[in-house]
Amino acid sequence: MSLPDPLRTVVAVAVYWTAIALGGSVLLPDPTSPLAAVPILGGGAVTAHAARTDRLVELGYAVGTMWLVVLALSVGTGVVDLVAAPDGEIAPLAGFPDVAALGTVGLLGVLVVAYAAFARRSAGRGAAESESK
C-alpha cells in the first residue's frame, strides 16, 4: 500500500526537518541555547524551498551529506582524543562555545551548499534529457 502524494510530502518534510534540526544542533552543549534556532529555522527554510520546488530527493542527499560531516567530526574528534591525549581526555567539541557556534552555523552551511549542488546537478540532468528528445 503506497501513501498518497500529499501525505508522502508531509512525512518527508517532517523527517528531513527533524534530521536537520538534530544534526545541526549536535555540537551545542545546551539544547535550549539560542543557537538552536539556526538549524531549526534554517533547516525549515531549506525544507520549505525543497517542498515548494519539488526537490525533496535533492534535500535528502543534502541531509545525508550533512550527517556524513557530523560523522566525520565525531570520528575525527575521537581520533584526536586517542592520539593527541592518550593519558587524558580532551574536552568534547561541544565544550568550546566558539567551536559549537561555528560548527552549528557550518553544518547549516554544508546543508545549503550540498542542497544547491544537488539541485543544480538535477537541473542540469533535466535540461540534458529534454534536449536529447
Q: Is the confidence at residue 1, as pLDDT, over 60? A: no
CA atoms of 17 and 108, how far apart (whole Å)? 12
Q: Tens digits of per-residue pLDDT, 19-70? A: 999 999 888 888 888 999 999 999 999 999 999 999 999 999 999 999 999 9
- Please give the residue that has the higher pLDDT: either 128 or 97: 97
Distances (CA, A) of 106 to 28, 48, 86, 111: 12, 20, 29, 9
Cell triple for 95:
565544550
